[in-house]
Structure 1
Amino acid sequence: MDEELKEFPLFIKANEIYELVRKVSDLIEKNDNDAEKQILQSYKEYMLESALIIPAKIAGAFNEDRLYDLKMQNATIIRKEARSILANTSGIKMLGFKDADYLELIRNEIEEFRILFAEWVKTFNEWNYIIDRWGLFNPPGVNYDDFDIDDELPFDNPFLDDED
């Protein structure tokens, strides 16, 4: 792993959140026949999955040479997973989880993460892009149907040429 990434505050915070979620998840009882405990188990699994995805997506978008739309795509997934953790903590609390104070710790960590995340997104280079023809992740002022000179370049793939 890149040393710069390991020292990146957002990545560090994401890993701290994962460790906290893992430890709190260990407090949630294993499945049995009780439907409520099965729901609790599902919340636990979703929360752990989200907490694992976040640092992976940060790593995927970390390189400053990454295209704007790829960074924004990863950022969108990161936000979705962080919000999912918040929703799952609410569900766990509603089911009467006895150690609810730990859920508040997770929520506080997510809030600290949110601020770091928002600052990080502001650093994305909007001018390092290709037009997103789906229209989701274009920089401001760029539309999905804008002309792109690269679309006019001939596509020459030697693997597709007939050699007969």
Structure 2
Amino acid sequence: MDSNERRQQVEDLPIYKKGEEIYQMTRKICDLFPEDNEHLQFIKGQILSDAGMLTAKVAGAEGGDLYDLRMEAAAIIRKAARDLMVSNHSLEMFGFEEVEYFDIVRDLIEEYRLLFIDWVAGFDQWNYIIDRWGLFNPPGVGPFDKDPDDDIPFNPDDFFGEDD
């Protein structure tokens, strides 16, 4: 499969599509922020960054494919989505008059959350390397466990050939 086919496969995932929908809606709402409100302009950057993470990290997780990398991406996605969920409070505090529009984003994030649960449940727990930090190991694997790959004999000369 070439890179264009792989990219299309990722972009066809329901979670990716919903993330893109959230980003587009967030962008439309952010376009309503007054240009002269420094606080809202700063929040705009944060909100758009969080919304962008929802697709970027899905793509990265799909490309990485290892359990620990996928779980790390999932944790970042979760944080970004949760930050987006509470952004309406900051918008209200700094005078955004159309804050009720952000409820649309919150509803989309709830739909995304349900897709996220199914997506994470599909991660292959047997395709992993041990996370020595101990955060993203599959169930039953610890950061101090012996790596089973250490038992595989490897002689670089057999693999790469001897230099003359």
TM-score band, normalised by the shorter chain? 0.7 to 0.9
**How has the CA–CA distance of structure 1 residues 91 and 79 changed in structure 2, closer, same or farther, with 3 Å as cutoff?**
same
For 2:78, give the aligned amino acid.
Answer: R
Does 2:46 correspond to 1:41?
A: no
Identity of aligned residues (%): 43
Q: Corresponding residue for 2:62?
A: 62
Give the conservation status (yes or no) of the 8 Å contact 1:46–1:88.
Answer: no
Does 2:2 correspond to 1:3?
A: no
Report the TM-score when normalising by structure 2: 0.84
Gapped regions of structure 2 (runs ≥ 5): 158-162
For 2:69, give the aligned amino acid.
Answer: L
- Structure 2 residue matching 1:109: 3-state secondary structure: helix
After TM superposition, list the pairs within 5 Å mapping 1:144-155 onto structure 2.
Answer: 144-151=143-150
Q: Tell me how far apart the structure 2 counterparts of residues 149 and 134 of structure 1 sit (CA, whole Å).
A: 18
Q: Give the count of matched residue pairs.
A: 154
Q: Corresponding residue for 1:113?
A: 112
Give the conservation status (yes or no) of the 8 Å contact 1:14–1:113.
Answer: yes
Q: Corresponding residue for 2:139?
A: 140
- Structure 2 residue matching 1:27: 3-state secondary structure: coil
Gapped regions of structure 1 (runs ≥ 5): 32-36, 158-162
Q: Corresponding residue for 1:160?
A: none
Q: Corresponding residue for 1:53?
A: 53
Q: Tell me how far apart the structure 2 counterparts of residues 95 and 149 of structure 1 sit (CA, whole Å).
A: 54
**How has the CA–CA distance of structure 1 residues 148 and 19 changed in structure 2, closer, same or farther, with 3 Å as cutoff?**
same
Report the TM-score when normalising by structure 1: 0.84
For 1:54, give the aligned amino acid.
Answer: L
Q: Tell me how far apart the structure 2 counterparts of residues 115 and 81 of structure 1 sit (CA, whole Å).
A: 15
Give the conservation status (yes or no) of the 8 Å contact 1:93–1:100.
Answer: yes
